[in-house]
Chains A and B, each alone.
Chain A
Amino acid sequence: MEARLEQALLLKRVVEAIKDLVQDCNFDCNDTGIALQAMDNSHVALVSMLLKAEAFSPYRCDRNIPIGINLTSLTKVLRCAQNDDILTLKAEDSPDTINLTFESSESDRLSEYDIKLMDIDQDHLGIPETEYAATITMPSAEFQRICRDLIALSESVSIEATKEGVKFSCAGDIGNGSVTLRSHTNVEKPELNVEIDLAEPVALTFSLKYLVNFCKASALSGSVKLCLSNEVPLLVEYGLSGSSWLRFYLAPKIGDEE
C-alpha cells in the first residue's frame, strides 16, 4: 500500500478529531481507499471515515490490508509533520509497521517514521442505510458554537426539527437555553447557508459531551450535515475533498421528552 497526500494537514486533522473518541482502531485499506470505523468505549458513539483513492495522488493498494494503530502514537508522529508537508503512507501486504514520510514542500527536508502496528480484533458493523426524516446543513462553526454554548447549561441537548426550523434546546440546574436556526440563503456568502430538508418533524435528545467532541472536526470542513430520524442515531457528517467524509453517529438519549 502506498498513498501520497498533498497536505499532511488533512490526516492530522482527521486523527485530531477522533483520537479522543477512539484509542486504537484499524485503518482498512483496499483499492478504493482507506476506511475507518470504530465505536467509543461506552458504545454510545461511532466514528466512520472514508478517504477515497481520489483524495490521494497517487494511491495504490492491491489487496485488503488492515492497519491497526494506536491513535495516540499516530498523533505523536503526525505532530512531526508540518501542515504543508507532502505525506506518504507505506505498508507491506501483511505489515508490522506503517511508514510515514514527510517531505517539506519548500525545502529538501525529508523525515521518515515507522509506527509499530497492533492486531485489533474489530467487528465490522454494518451501518444501515437510512432515509432520514430531517437533514440539516449548516456552517460547522455554527454547530460548534451551539454545542459549546449549551454545554455550559446542561449535559444534553434536544434537537427538534420542524417546518419552522431547527431548535437546539437544553435545560440545566441554572436555567435553560435554546438556539433556533431557520433555512437561510446568503448569496454573498454561501458558506453561511443553513438548509433544512424535512420529510417529517423529529425531536431527539443527545449527550452534548459527545457532540462537542465531534465538533473537533470543524476544521476539516466549512459545513456540517446533521441527519435525524426518530429513534435512530444522529449522523453528523463532515464532507472532505474528493467525496471523502468523516461521519459520527450518536445514539439518542431516552426518557427525555423535552
Chain B
Amino acid sequence: MAAPCAMDEVPPENLFIAPSIDVPRLLSGQSYSYHSPVPRALVDDKVTECVLGVDEAGRGPVLGPMVYALFYLPLPLHRSLLAETHHFDDSKVLTPQVRSNLVQKLCTASTDLHQSCGWAAKVMSPRDISAGMLKPAVLYNLNQQAMDATIELIKDVFARGVNVKEIYIDTIGPPQTYQAKLSRIFPTTTITVAKKADSLYPCVSAASVCAKVTRDAALEVCYRAYTAAPLTPEGSEAPATAEVEGWGSGYPSDARCSGWLKRNMDPVFGWGNVCRFSWNTAKDLLEAKSSAVNVEWPAQEDEDNTRMIDFLPASRRDQKKNAHKMATWFGVKVGEGLF
C-alpha cells in the first residue's frame, strides 16, 4: 500500500521509465496490462514451483493511474534473492532512487533478477476508474475494480504456463472474504491475504516496488505531456508557477496537487485524462460556485417521435410552407378562439 506519507517525496531526476509505461495509451486515458517475458529458467522447466506477490500503488491520488503489479519467481529463491541479495522491502521504506534502480536491474537482461523473476502491471486509467465509480445504475467501486485487476493479472500469468503455487496479496477489504473469493478462482494455489503483506513477504515488496515505479513514471509522463502543451499556448500568462511547482504526488492532500488542479481547470471540461473525476476533490472544485460553468444538457430527443410543432402553425412562414398538407387540420388562431 502506498500511503500518503510518501507524498512529499520528489521523484529522482533519472527516474527509470519501465517497459510497463505505454505512453500513447497513458495519454489517451486507456487502461492496459504489461507482462514481462517469462524468465528463461521457467520457460525451460515448467514444473518449477513459483511464488507470486501482488501489490498496488496510487490508490488515493486524484491524479494519475492506479497501478496493480505482480511479481513471481521460483519458490526456493524467494527470500534469498529478493530479501537477502537485493534488499527488496515495502516501497514506502525504500527511497525513489533505490526503487527505480531495482526495477531497472529487473529489466536488464544480464542480471540475476531478470533471469529468474517475472512481473506484470495493470495500469488502471483515471478515466476508467472514474467511469466505474460514477456509473449510474450499478456502480463499480474501487475495491471491485482492484480485485478484478488482480484476478486478471494472475490469470494471465497462469495462461503463460507459470506454475504458481503460492500467492501473497495485501488485502482489499476484510482479508477472509477476499481470501475465500480468490481461493474459489485459483483452487490449486495456496493463497495468503494479509494486511501489510508488502513488508512481510519479499515477493509482495517487489510487486509494490514495481507498482510504485510504474505509477511514478506514469505520472511523470503525463506531467511532461501537460507542460509540453500548456493550456494557454500563446498566453503571456502561461502558468510559470505551475511549471516550477508541478502537481506533486497527485494526492489531494498535497498542496501542489490541489493548487495545480485549481489553476488548470477548464471551466467546461475540468481536466484531461489524468484526473479522477470521481474524487471529491475534483467534484468539489467543479461544483464550486463561479469556478466552473454550469452545463445544460438538452433534452434527449426521441428519434421516432413526431413534434408538436409539426402540427401547429408556429409561424406564418411555416404555415405557408405546410399549408397544403395541414390545411384540413389548421383551425383558428389562438386568442379569442381559446376562450
Residues of A whose CB lies within 8 Å of any CB of B are 30, 32-33, 35, 37, 39-46, 48, 50, 52, 123-130, 207, 232-233, 249-256
Distance of A157 Cα from B292 Cα, bound (Å)? 41
**Is A42's CB under 8 angstroms from B301's CB?**
yes
| B-side interface mostly | loop
Distance of A29 Cα from B308 Cα, bound (Å)? 24
Instruction: List, in ascending order, chain A residues with CB within 8 A of B332's CB.
Output: 126, 128-129
Q: Given the known A-B contacts A35-B338, A44-B302, A50-B339, are A128 and B308 also in contact in the complex, defined by CB atoms under 8 Å? A: no
**Distance to closest chain A CB from B294 (angstroms):** 15
**Is B308's CB under 8 angstroms from A46's CB?**
yes
B306-339 CB contacts (< 8 Å) to partner A: 306-315, 329-335, 337-339
Instruction: List, in ascending order, chain A residues with CB within 8 A of B311's CB.
Output: 128, 232-233, 251
Residue of A35, A232, A251, A254 with highest tally of chain B CB at under 10 A: A251
**Is A42's CB under 8 angstroms from B339's CB?**
no
Q: Given the known A-B contacts A35-B339, A41-B299, A42-B299, are A126 and B308 also in contact in the complex, defined by CB atoms under 8 Å? A: no
Residues of B whose CB lies within 8 Å of any CB of A are 298-302, 304-315, 329-335, 337-339
Instruction: List, in ascending order, chain A residues with CB within 8 A of B339's CB.
Output: 30, 32-33, 35, 50, 52
Instruction: List 21 A-B pairs, Cβ < 8 Å.
Output: A35-B338, A41-B298, A41-B299, A42-B299, A42-B300, A42-B307, A43-B309, A46-B312, A124-B335, A125-B334, A126-B337, A127-B312, A128-B331, A128-B332, A129-B331, A129-B337, A232-B311, A251-B307, A251-B310, A252-B306, A254-B306
Distance of A245 Cα from B308 Cα, bound (Å)? 20
**Is A126's CB under 8 angstroms from B330's CB?**
yes
Besides A33-B339, A42-B299, A253-B306, 13 new A-B residue pairs in contact (Cβ under 8 A), listed by A number:
A125-B313, A126-B331, A126-B337, A128-B311, A128-B330, A233-B308, A250-B308, A251-B307, A251-B310, A252-B305, A252-B306, A253-B305, A254-B305
Chain B residue at minimum C-beta to C-beta distance from A126: B333
| A-side interface mostly | loop
Instruction: List, in ascending order, chain B residues with CB within 8 A of A251's CB.
Output: 305-308, 310-311
Distance of A232 Cα from B312 Cα, bound (Å)? 10
Contact of B329 (CB < 8 Å), options: A39, A232, A249: A232
Distance of A42 Cα from B302 Cα, bound (Å)? 8
Instruction: List, in ascending order, chain A residues with CB within 8 A of B298's CB.
Output: 41
**Is A126's CB under 8 angstroms from B304's CB?**
no
**Distance to closest chain B CB from A93 (angstroms):** 19
Give the 4 A-B residue pairs with the shortest CB-CB distance, closest first: A129-B331, A128-B331, A126-B333, A41-B299
Instruction: List, in ascending order, chain B residues with CB within 8 A of A30's CB.
Output: 339
**Is A43's CB under 8 angstroms from B313's CB?**
no
Chain A residue at minimum C-beta to C-beta distance from B338: A35
Distance of A126 Cα from B309 Cα, bound (Å)? 10
**Is B304's CB under 8 angstroms from A43's CB?**
no
Instruction: List, in ascending order, chain B residues with CB within 8 A of A232's CB.
Output: 311, 329
Distance of A129 Cα from B313 Cα, bound (Å)? 12
Instruction: List, in ascending order, chain B residues with CB within 8 A of A50's CB.
Output: 338-339
Contact of B304 (CB < 8 Å), options: A46, A129, A255: A255
Chain A residue at minimum C-beta to C-beta distance from B310: A251
Instruction: List, in ascending order, chain B residues with CB within 8 A of A252's CB.
Output: 305-306
Chain B residue at minimum C-beta to C-beta distance from A31: B339
Residue of B305, B311, B314, B332 with highest tally of chain A CB at under 10 A: B305
Q: Given the known A-B contacts A126-B331, A128-B331, A129-B332, are A254 and B304 also in contact in the complex, defined by CB atoms under 8 Å? A: yes
Contact of B334 (CB < 8 Å), options: A32, A37, A233: A37
Instruction: List, in ascending order, chain A residues with CB within 8 A of B305's CB.
Output: 42, 44, 207, 251-254
Instruction: List, in ascending order, chain A residues with CB within 8 A of B333's CB.
Output: 124, 126
**Is A43's CB under 8 angstroms from B331's CB?**
no
**Is A253's CB under 8 angstroms from B304's CB?**
yes
**Distance to closest chain A CB from B18 (angstroms):** 47
Distance of A129 Cα from B331 Cα, bound (Å)? 5
Chain B residue at minimum C-beta to C-beta distance from A37: B334
**Distance to closest chain B CB from A106 (angstroms):** 35
**Is A253's CB under 8 angstroms from B308's CB?**
no
Instruction: List, in ascending order, chain B residues with CB within 8 A of A130's CB.
Output: 329, 331
